[in-house]
Structure 1
Amino acid sequence: MHAPYAMRPEQSRGRRHPEEESAFRSCFQRDRDRIIHASAFRRLKHKTQVFIEHEGDYFRTRLTHSIEVAQVARTISGVLGLNAELTEAVALAHDLGHPPFGHTGEDALQELMAPYGGFDHNAQAIRIVTSLERHYAEFDGLNLTWDTLEGIAKHNGPVTGPVPYALADYNACHDLELHTHASAEAQVAALADDIAYNNHDLHDGLRAELFSTDELAEMPLLKECFNEVDARYPDLNYYRRRHEALRRFFGLLVEDVIEQARGALKALGANSAEEVRMAGRPVVRFSEPLWRDLQVIRRFLFTRMYRAPSVVEMRGEVTRVVHDLFPLFMADPSLLPKQWRKDVAEADGELALARIVADYIAGMTDRFAIQSHARLCLGALPKPSLMAPPL
């Protein structure tokens, strides 16, 4: 049973290119399915979260992260009476625009693209689902509903200030109302993202031995989780103990968001999804006390994990990969694959070429970027079977 402020398929603002409705799937289910079957979604398997994709089989990739975000988002959405299919579609698509090497790759592309309108992974996700996925006969992109596109563009809140070109170009022909908040479903996807990475970065940091379980057991929020586990299972082994504690931490974050969202939605008294959009504030968020404690954990992770010497060293290496490839393709676009050279032939000037090169590099997986760099910049000859270009 959907709440009055939930998005309903029959209330969708539709698609830019009209299509016949499915006899057995809602429009939001079709959006979700198209995202799952997209080339960009498959490539998330080989894109890094924090650690470079090939550094270990157990570390999260963008794909496993997106699946975890979707699972959390569906849970919260269901409890709040929201539309789970729309929530899941936004959650699964939220990282499609990430280039190789995570935020390190994004920082490098942002620097290189500064003279050409910059680079932003959220805006790039819109570019992918509205233009760069080219599989359908009647349109470029996935032709997602307005509601899903809005969620991808604005799940972190209204887009204020200069709008990245990748988003501005599409918004000029299909207004996503960037000045407002997104639906409650998209807001849930955003918080599910926070919950997932706050939890799994602790898991991955422990596995990488960047910090110890004992250090985590003394931190806010985590301390009570470890104490509960120790009281209930006094002789539990090391690995099970930390898993049980982090499982409780995960649940604590989910329960806090649900409780806060219930209160905010009740206080708002919204009777439609539109009233949520026009509320002027997010309705899905953490409580202030939990948010303060969470910042302590985030600062710890920043120092001990994201700025760990081994991670910083790898950041320098992969930054060089992006910085070497971009000017190489700009100087000699014939190095791009055949299907990309057609776009180059139609490009008008340096600005258009730079955006094509950025699209190509952003679509690379970690391993393909490293292999391309080795082949084109270092003269290495990787195995041909591993050299399929991003589409």
Structure 2
Amino acid sequence: MAPALTKPITGDLAPYATDPSATRGRRHDEMESRTRSPYQRDRDRIIHSGAFRRLKHKTQVFVYHEGDYYRTRLTHSLEVAQIARSLSRFLGLDEDLAEALALAHDLGHTPFGHAGEDALAECMEGYGGFDHNAQTLRIVTRLEQRYADFDGLNLTWETLEGVVKHNGPVIGQGEGTDHLPRAFREYEGLAALDLHTYASLEAQVAALSDDIAYNNHDIDDGLRAGLFTADDLMSLPLVGDMFREVHDAYPGLAPRRLRHEAIRRLISHMVEDVIGETTRRLEKIQPGNSDDIRNAGMQIASFSEEMQAHDRALKSFLLERMYRHFQVNRMMSKAKRVMTEVFELLVNEPSLLPNEWQDMTDGPRTVKTAETVCDYVAGMTDRFAIEEHRRLFQPDPIFR
């Protein structure tokens, strides 16, 4: 990778932070910006990408037409970025790298949330599999085609590392990569990302921020949708405490205000827990640089054991009361059928693909054609997937 220009660093970074002036560079040689650090530039490229814009109409639990107030992948990513910046600022990390990773973490998701991913993974069995993290890498290194000199966004090594390893090492020491999804294996620079180590602390913070945002906005969306009530949450540790605390402090408070105030306090409590536990772990290992974080052999950014127990209890509640709710199940069942039927038809009849996508196929039911169809379908928004299914399967007197 080409080295970046050495730039003065604004703000005080901790010794274990990822120093933008010491980046390992980019895969394709580029002169770095005179006005932005390498990670600021990565963030800006992510924001300007087509994949990022499409997150506006990709959902996690509800499909796009369920209501204007439910979160989309875009609003979720912005919430994750806000939490990641706050944590990074307190811990002395590079905020721009953490923000870039937060904004990029959902780029590879399919339409219709986890139901869409499950459907596409089943469709891709025998063709190399599907994984949304691997698809994110494929998007930022290949599928985004905006620049004259290279495919992808040509992000820094540190941002690519965080995309791939934000949940921890991808392989064990000395382990091969044959079991990884095809989108990982096809990236020529994969081995250089040190798959057996942990990612930077900025990447770890971004992953935890995702968890905090995800849990809390699902509480909000579930309450809005009437899938459960505030009273149902009272039995949960911590969550129930926050709702009771607000209820007792503000008797008669409107449900909407009660919900927002309790969730605001819950997010703050989780953020403070991450700061406390991460600080304790940093004091234990005394890292002198960012590589000490990568080679620590453990996750450094973390919830405390008590908060991990609260997190498991909340996830269990949401699984039963929200993700498995019959109304959600019905929508997800429809979504899986849309994904599966569109994929199977296009793999069998690639001539139905738009011309630019047809050019990347080589006949029905081949691996190359399946990979092309997978990229095409995974990149769809909820709305486009529904419309494409209608165009392909429903009779229409007007041919279009």
Determine if the TM-score, normalized by the shorter chain, exceeds 0.5.
yes
Q: Find the counterpart in structure 2 of residue 50 from structure 1.
A: 61
Whole-Å separation in 2 of the counterparts to 1:189 and 1:93: 10
1:281-320 matches, cutoff 5 A: 281-320=298-337
Aligned: 1:337 with 2:348? no
Partner of 1:269: 286
Range moving further from structure 2, 152-161 or 70-79: 152-161
1:377 alignment partner in structure 2: 393
CA contact (8 A) 1:100 1:364 kept: yes
Deviation at 1:380, TM superposition (A): 4.4
| Conservation of the 8 A alpha-carbon contact between 1:69 and 1:189 | yes
- Aligned mate of 1:10, from 12, 18, 21: 21
Report the CA distance shift for 1:8/1:54 in structure 2 as closer, same or farther (over 3 A).
Answer: same
In the alignment, structure 1 residue 67 sits paired with structure 2 residue 65 = no
Structure 1 residues 136-215: aligned runs within 5 Å: 136-160=147-171, 162-172=179-189, 175-215=192-232
Report if the CA contact (8 A) 2:77-2:102 is conserved: yes
Determine if contact 1:16/1:174 at 8 Å carries over to the other structure.
Answer: no
Deviations along 1:7-44, one digit per CA (max 9) or x if unpaired, are 01111110000100111101100000000000000000
CA contact (8 A) 1:130 1:143 kept: yes
C-alpha separation in 1, matches of 2:89 and 2:265: 20
CA distance in 2, matches of 1:98, 1:302: 20
How has the CA–CA distance of structure 1 residues 227 and 185 changed in structure 2, closer, same or farther, with 3 Å as cutoff? same
Is the 1:226–1:245 contact (alpha carbons within 8 Å) kept by the matching residues of 2?
Answer: yes
Following TM superposition, by how much is the alpha carbon of 1:219 offset from its aligned partner in structure 2, in angstroms? 1.5
Cα distance in 2 for partners of 1:133, 1:305 equals: 34
Percentage of identical aligned residues: 55
Q: Which whole-Å CA distance do the structure 2 matches of 1:287 and 1:225 have between them?
A: 18
Which secondary structure state, in structure 2, belongs to the residue aligned with residue 116 of structure 1? coil
Task: Tell whether the 8 Å contact from 1:104 to 1:315 is kept in structure 2 after alignment.
Answer: yes
Residue type at the aligned position of 2:34: A
Structure-2 separation of matches of 1:129 and 1:109? 20
Equivalent of residue 109 in structure 1, options 120, 136, 147: 120
Instruction: Identify which range, 300-309 or 374-383, moves more after superposition.
Output: 374-383
How big is the shift at 1:230? 2.9
Count, aligned residues: 383
Report the 3-state secondary structure (helix = DSSP H, G, I; strand = E; otherwise coil) of the residue aligned with 1:344: coil
CA distance in 1 between counterparts of 2:399 and 2:79 reads 32
2:41 pairs with 1:30: yes
CA offsets, 1:30-80, max 9 Å, x none? 000000000000000000121111111000000000000000000001000
**Amino acid aligned to 1:85:** D
- Structure 1 residues 10 and 349: alpha-carbon distance in aligned structure 2, compared to 1, 3 A threshold: farther
Q: CA deviation at 1:359?
A: 0.4
Instruction: Report the CA distance shift for 1:173/1:59 in structure 2 as closer, same or farther (over 3 A).
Output: closer
| Conserved? CA contact 2:124–2:130, under 8 Å | yes
User: How far off its partner does 1:129 sit?
Assistant: 0.3
- Cα gap change, 1:186 to 1:173, in 2 (>3 Å): closer
SS in 1 for 2:263: helix
Any stretches of 5+ residues in structure 1 without a counterpart? Answer: 385-391
Q: Distance in 2 between matches of 1:165 and 1:382?
A: 39
Residue 368 of structure 1: aligned partner: 384
Whole-angstrom distance in 1 between the partners of 2:86 and 2:398: 43
Q: Is the 8 A contact 1:134 1:140 kept in 2?
A: yes
Which residue number corresponds to residue 94 of structure 1? Answer: 105
Q: CA deviation at 1:349?
A: 8.0
- Answer yes or no: is the 8 Å Cα contact 2:112–2:382 preserved in 1: yes
Give the RMSD, CA atoms, in angstroms.
Answer: 1.7
Aligned structure 1 segments of 4 or more residues deviating by more than 6 angstroms: 381-384
| Structure 1 contact 46–62 (Cα < 8 Å) conserved | yes
Deviations 1:296-340 (A, max 9, x none): 111110011000001111111111111111121112212111221
1:290 to partner: Cα distance: 1.2
| Alpha-carbon distance between aligned partners in 2 of 1:117 and 1:289, rounded to the nearest angstrom | 39
In 2, Cα distance between equivalents of 1:180 and 1:217: 40
SS in 1 for 2:300: coil
TM-score, normalization by structure 2: 0.93
Question: Does the 8 Å contact 2:348/2:364 carry over to 1?
Answer: no
Question: Which residue type is aligned with residue 152 of structure 1?
Answer: V
